[in-house]
Structure 1
Amino acid sequence: MNICIFGSGAIGSYIGALLMKNGIKVSLICRGEHLKAIQNKGLLMQSAETNTEYSCKPIATDDPNNLEKQDYIIVTLKAHSAALTANTLTPLFKDSTTVVSAVNGLPWWYFYKANNQYENMKLRSVDPKNLQWDYITPERSLGCVVYPAAEIKAPGHVYHIEGDRFPIGEPDGSKSIRVQELSKILISSGLKSPVRKNIRADIWMKLWGNLAFNPISALTGETLEEIANNNKSCTIVKKMMLEGQAVAEALGINFPITLEKRIEGTRNVGAHKTSTLQDLELGRPMEIDALTKSVSEAGKIVNIPTPVIDKIYEKVKLKAIKAGCYINPNL
């Protein structure tokens, strides 16, 4: 069994270490000082949640041509990078290779086997050049939702903060051999990775909060707890979430909890900075297209207006451009 983690930053390195510990042959695609450290000294994974640590020496490279053909590829790149580098995965493919898109926001394959009038429509906000659709192809794809939080403490050192949920699912909701096989591997490696019948609903449940809290945090500098407790910020969040809910429901998604409970759950996370705010503070590209614009684009497809989402997206995009934290997907 060969599994490649494509884009092994914090989350990818964490998943890779868990798989290595479980005896899986793992290859990491990464770059820079993190790559050099893994190649020279190996990878150290520490978990604050389980109070454990594990050292391993996975295969690590920045060139997919150096690796064997893979059974599974788990893409853990930021959404904008995944959209622009999909063609580089092809040396890893054999006929049966499956690709798991562990990326925030609506996935590029969202309308594949959607079983509705929007079948095979494409989301330009997450796949502007159709590289993922054309090179990976939706037939290879499994969906997932990433809940673990981790960070790179130093090159070659990943620190798992919390979370072990990693649900996966087929676009058509079937319990295929490949999705069941991967689920068993991930579960035996320490992740809660059940096969979900409607992975799109799981994706929306996470995105429902992210589409609002992430851009608002970048605009205000507030933590999740501060946004939820700030009446002005939370009022905007609620308007954005209601628009997102309307889009999701038009696509056949039913949320199992109320908006208030979803916000309360986010409030309970505490003084946590969203990944979007962290990226802004560190001068890194921000995933605002995947987290916010994709919802607006889906709204246009189903004729649901998203005026508040659109307004906030434009504001945070402008801030990202000024800070050098926005990658134009069309260049």
Structure 2
Amino acid sequence: MIGEAEVRICVFGAGAIGCYFGGLLARAGHDVTFIGRPAHVEAINARGLILETAAGTETVAARAAVDAEGIDRPDLVLVCVKSADTETVADALAGRLGPQTAILSLQNGVDNAERLGARLGREVVSAIVYAGTGMAGPGHVKHHGGGDLVIGASPASTDLAGLLTKAGISTTVSDDIDGALWTKLITNCAYNALSAVGPASYAAMLETDGAREVMLNVVRECEAVAAACGVTLPPDIVDRVMAVAGRMPAQMSSTAQDLLRGKPTEIDFLNGHVVRKGAEHGIPTPTNLALTVAVRLAEQGGPSTRAG
């Protein structure tokens, strides 16, 4: 049960976000099992998870598996997979959850918790991640900055926030999770694609002539679409978005990391989502469309075309 000294946790998606937050929970003494790709699974099972932060590098004990077969009624599931894999994860978890299992979606995009909940027939809590992380090797996660979580309100949210905060993950509960999700989505829309087509860190990206203007156009389009969707955004949304580079200057977006590794991106659930919603409401989103297409073209080209 959430709130006990040791909580059984399944991290579905042993990528940078999953390994970072799962690593902090394992370091705090919880029983953590990662579900991920073979290379990460083998490394974690062989010597634990390497957790690299500004405070130093340490190895934390954890287990890992390539599928959910061994998962049996965990107390908490952190879903950290790409948005395109949401339904696949829901199907893998079906029948393996207990009646009190809490599910937390730490995914990009604004509708993953809704999609998971619809597939599983139970409540899923949304979480917004404000952390810069990357994989430095198999079973080796590196933290670049940030690390806070905002989670939606639910009967389990107070206990979840307490559990996470005790593990060193500053967590707050929001009564307006839709506004928080869209704020994070807009931040991703402003940074991810530009960082990817560079490829460039956030600081380097903002030093490029015209980048700020492009980002401002992205934000303005997103604001219009959010308003049409009935979402209230903070009045200082532009300042919030622009401040991210100062907090995480060395960070390269997850979209950039995906392209450099030759992996599919989540662009269709970021700028692409804004384009689709804009079309539904008759709102032009030319900048978001251009960035979506640019990333799709880069995906088709593969990593070899960006290496030179």
Q: Which runs of 5+ in 1 are unaligned?
A: 111-126, 171-175, 326-331
How do 1:1-331 and structure 2 match up within 5 A? 1-48=7-54, 51-109=55-113, 132=116, 134-137=118-121, 139-170=122-153, 176-258=154-236, 260-268=238-246, 269-323=248-302
CA 304–219 in structure 1, closer or farther in 2 if over 3 Å, else same: same
Determine the C-alpha separation between the residues in 2 that align with 1:291 and 1:227.
19
Q: Distance in 1 between matches of 2:228 and 2:91?
A: 32
Which amino acid in 2 is paired with 1:158?
A: V
Which digits, 9 at most, give the CA deviation of each residue in 1:213-262, with x for residues without a partner? 21123334343234334343332222221110111122333332435423
Alpha-carbon distance between aligned partners in 2 of 1:185 and 1:283, rounded to the nearest angstrom = 36
Q: Is the 8 A contact 1:285 1:324 kept in 2?
A: no
Q: Is the 8 A contact 2:117 2:123 kept in 1?
A: no
Q: 1:302, 1:161 → 2: CA distance?
A: 38
Aligned equivalents of 2:52, 2:203: Cα separation in 1: 26
Summarize the Cα distance change of 1:154–1:92 in structure 2 as closer, same or farther, 3 Å threshold.
same
CA–CA distance in structure 1, aligned partners of residues 24 and 141 of structure 2: 12
TM-score w.r.t. the length of structure 1 is 0.81
Between the aligned partners of 1:20 and 1:224, the Cα distance in structure 2 is 30
C-alpha separation between the residues in 2 aligned to 1:229 and 1:254?
31
Point out the structure with the larger strand share: 2
Structure 2: stretches of 5+ with no match in the other structure: 1-6
Residue 133 to residue 305, structure 1, CA distance change in 2 (3 Å):
farther
Identity of aligned residues (%): 29
Instruction: Give the RMSD, CA atoms, in angstroms.
Output: 2.4
Tell whether the 8 Å contact from 1:228 to 1:266 is kept in structure 2 after alignment: no
**Structure-2 separation of matches of 1:209 and 1:30:** 27
Mapped partners of 1:135, 1:42: distance in 2: 32
Q: Does the aligned pair in 2 maintain the 1:12–1:76 contact within 8 Å?
A: yes
Does 21-30 or 300-309 show the bigger shift? Answer: 300-309
User: Which amino acid counterpart does residue 185 of structure 1 have in structure 2?
Assistant: L
Structure 1 residue 52: Cα displacement: 4.0
Residue type of the alignment partner of 2:287: V
TM-score, normalised to structure 2, is 0.86
**Alpha carbons of structure 1 residues 225 and 133: separation in structure 2 relative to 1, 3 Å:** same
**Given the superposition, is the C-alpha separation of residues 165 and 189 from structure 1 closer, same or farther in structure 2, using an over 3 Å criterion?**
same
- For the 8 Å contact 2:33–2:62, the answer to whether it is kept is yes
Counterpart of 2:266 in structure 1: which amino acid?
A: E
Distance 1:245 1:140, change over 3 A: same
